[in-house]
Amino acid sequence: MKFERWFPWVFCALLALFPLLASSLGLDFYVGFVRRAMIFALAAASLNFILGFGGMAALGHAGFLGVGAYALVALSDAGIESAWILWPAAMVVAGLVAALIGLIALRTRGVYLIMSTLAFAQMLYYVALSLRIYGGDDGYNLMARPSFGLGLDSADEATFYWVVLGLLALVMVGLNRATHSRFGHALMGLRDNETRMRAMGYPVFKLMLVAFSLSGALAGLAGALLVSHNAFVSPSAMHWTQSATLIVMVVIGGVGLRWGGPVGAVVWIGLEELVKQFTEYWHLPLGLLLIVIVFVAPRGLASVAEHWRLPRRPRPAEPAGAVLTPGEGS
């Protein structure tokens, strides 16, 4: 069987074994850490779906994360405890908000799309700031983790870990299916040449809107999981730098590569944790690393792995027009 078919499942099994091993190795702290990394992997995968496969550069994904988180907080505050209601509800709300935003934002392209998604995410941020019943600026403490039912103990850290792992696996399988479906191919087609897809009669705007809303809904799920994980949410989770961090994760992982989102999220959060062990100034080395990555691995780390695995092929000759590429400076 091919490497990329069996390896994810083996890795998934190893991840599932981790909480069992962790308690005997005294690494209990890292169960929570890996769980957080998996939640961000989910968020990054949802962003990669529109960024990498749909070609929509959205700089407002943390906004949808926040919508999911606050939807959960609102329902939980109203007395609903079951995760079976809370998490899907967070997805639906985030998906609807994404659809509404997409209706306007997706009419723009390129830099203007980056800017308009950013603007809408800022609006959501200010709305969260004004929600004084949910703590406003100070944030909101979730009293109890949503209950899973089915005889599962939601207070148990390992159980919640397995639930998150299961959801991540489900989402990855789902996204993988989606990218290999007609829908996914149409999406990639319009990323590569929108005019041609339009000319071929594809409903370009509708496709983009569906992908955008789906991605928003998944980000909402990640947000709901994150607030369940932290037992806390504040508007700072929706700050634009959080959206930028999600983009960073996707780009260092590999834009438009199946594992780009998760790889990037795990690498970024892992590095953050690692550098924090040595210095409180962890932004500085990571910032430098980002700059290096842009020049050394522009297609992301997942692409580097792919590069090693594939047989080396001779490079195609540079197209003649390359001489005139804009911005050669003098």
Partner 1 sequence: MTTILFIEQMLNGLGYGFMLFLLAAGLTLVFGIMDVMNLAHGSLFMAGAYVAAHVHGRTGSFVIGVLSALAVVLVLALVLEVFLVRRLYGREHLAQVLATFGVILVADDAVKLIWGAAPIMASAPALLSGPIELLPGLMYPSYRLLILAAGVLVAVGLYLLVNHTRVGMLVRAGASNRRMAEFMGVRVGQVFSMVFLLGATLAALAGALMGPLTAVQVGMGEEILIPSLVVLVIGGIGSVRGAFVAAMVVGMVDTIGRAFLPLLLRSFLSPTLVSDLAPAMAGLATYALMACVLAFKPAGLFPARG
**Smallest distance from partner 1 to CB 110, Å:** 7
Residue with Cβ nearer partner 1 (175 or 248): 248
Are 182 and 189 in contact by the 8 Å Cβ rule? The answer is: no
Minimal distance in Å, beta carbon 292 to partner 1? Answer: 8
In whole angstroms, how far apart are CA 8 and each of 184, 196, 233, 253?
21, 35, 31, 15
Q: Which DSSP helix (H) or strand (E) runs through 233?
A: strand 232-233
* Positions that interact with partner 1 (CB under 8 A): 51, 57, 59, 104, 107-108, 110-112, 114-116, 118-120, 122-123, 126-127, 129-130, 132, 240-241, 244, 247-248, 251-252, 255, 281-284, 286-291, 293-295, 298, 324-330
Say how far apart CA 38 and CA 323 lie, in whole Å: 44
- Minimum CB separation from partner 1 for residue 48, in Å? 11
Nearer to partner 1, 13 or 133 (CB): 133
Residue with tokens 């069987």: 1
CA nearest to 225, candidates 273, 169, 158, 161: 161
Q: Report how far apart, in Å, the C-alpha atoms of 257 and of each of 44, 49, 92, 159, 188 are.
A: 12, 9, 26, 30, 12
Q: How many CB atoms lie within 10 A of CB 77?
A: 14
> Please, which residue, 147 or 236, has the CB nearer to partner 1?
236
Q: How far is 276 from 25, CA to CA, in rounded Å? A: 22
CB of 96 to partner 1, least distance (A): 17
Nearer to partner 1, 34 or 211 (CB): 211
In the complex, the smallest distance separating the C-beta of residue 327 from partner 1, rounded to whole angstroms, is 3
Q: What is the DSSP letter of 141?
A: E
Shortest distance (Å) from residue 137 CB to partner 1: 10
Asked if 250 contacts 261 with a C-beta cutoff of 8 angstroms, the reply is yes
Shorter beta-carbon distance to partner 1: residue 122 or 147: 122
**Cβ proximity to partner 1, 80 vs 119, nearer residue:** 119
Single-letter residue type at 7: F
